[in-house]
Amino acid sequence: MTTLRGSVSVFFVLAATLAWTGPESVDGAPSSERTALSSDSTITVSGFLPPIPGPLPFFYDLFTFRTDGGGTTVIAAIAVPVGKLRRERNDGRVRYQFDVRLVLADTARHSVVHSVDSAFVNVERPLSGQHLLHTYIEIQAPPSPSSLQRVIVTDAARPGVGQLYNEPFPIPDYSGPELMLSDIAFGLPDATDGWARRGNMLALLPTSQFPESSFDVYYEIYNLPKGTPYETEILIEPLDDSGDGEGSVRAFFSGESEAREDDSVAELRRVDSALPKGPYRFTVTVRNMADGTSTSSSRAVEVRGWRGGTTMVPAMPRGLGQ
């Protein structure tokens, strides 16, 4: 889900692992940093530092897909406005760098999976303050209805400057036999670098920060055996106050499944028409024409028109852990 809710103006650096405690909070932790896991346990962050001298607002989205061999793949798409980062000179070029941490805590099992990554770009001249640097990180986690996500971005050129967002984030289970859809992921078209999945490449963007341009849509269908006739419907609805559906766009695609051995189908669609600024709901519905079953997945998209431009910045993993 794309979110700026749960913003925390003070930031604490995570240690290699997260400490689990009982019902009492850690001494010195502000109330905004204590997140209840259940009636008798709390997750807290070890390795406290003094409050950050300045925030670093950013945007993010989380997407989930089936992991080959079991489990769930979680993708975080992250975007940072250049104007919020300090630029440095590096061999006559301008450098921007930020670090990203993604933490998924299973509150029922008391287990944690996390990743630490760093992203940077070197350019000939300073970028516009409205220019977006966007990246992604990917980790695998077991399905859990009671998990918590925490995303942290820090300015690598200014120690102590960063921001943290956290929310409950149930991790879906794609292991069942019924017809299912993954999350819907969105990216800029004609990507030459970005998230690679099953022969497709997406320059992922958080869905709250879309430009007024064409874009790619990626999703996966599960449990649709090869040769099965099926139909896909894509519905784009403006989310205005009228509620009359005016301006909605529908597209239909039909054919036979070309599933892999695990009965999954990956589909990449291009939306060629630029959408006017505003909020939209994007819904994908798949119908199995052989047995009449169907499944849907929806996502909210905010078209803002980033005229300052965007740059996809690969993230270099610095560490994974459990």
CB 60 within 8 A of CB 80: no
pLDDT of 190: 85
d(CA 12, CA 29): 10
User: What burial class does residue 23 get, using C-beta atoms within 10 Å of its C-beta: 0-12 exposed, 13-18 middle, 19+ buried?
Assistant: exposed
Q: Alpha carbon of 213 to those of 25, 27, 184, 276: distances in Å?
A: 47, 50, 18, 9
Task: Provide the pairing of β-strand 215-222 with 264-271.
Answer: antiparallel
User: Does the pLDDT of residue 244 top 60, yes or no?
Assistant: no
Domains present along the chain, CATH in parentheses = 7-316 (2.60.40.10)
Residue 67 to residue 69: CA distance in whole angstroms: 6
Q: Mean of the per-residue pLDDT values for the chain?
A: 82
Nearest alpha-carbon partner for 20 in 39, 37, 1: 37
**Tokens read off for 74:** 């979680």
pLDDT in tens, 42-75: 333 333 344 445 789 999 999 999 998 889 999 9
Q: Check residue 2 and give its pLDDT.
A: 34
pLDDT at 47: 37
Phi-psi sector, 53: left (phi>0), alpha (psi -120 to 50), beta = alpha
Distance CA 82, CA 133 (A): 7
Nearest partner of 208 among 78, 36, 18, 104, judged by Cα: 78
pLDDT of residue 53: 59
Q: Is the pTM of this model over 0.85?
A: no
121, 127, 128, 130: CA torsion to nearest 10: 0
Per-residue pLDDT tens digits for 291-312: 999 999 999 999 887 677 889 9
101/24 Cα distance (integer angstroms):
26
Question: Which strand (E) or helix (H) includes residue 256?
Answer: strand 249-256
Higher pLDDT, 109 or 51: 109
Residue 210 carries which DSSP code?
A: B
CB 172 within 8 A of CB 121: no
* Selected residue with higher pLDDT from 144 and 208: 144
pLDDT above 60 for 274: yes
d(CA 264, CA 20): 38
Q: What are phi and psi of 49, to 5 degrees?
A: -125, 165
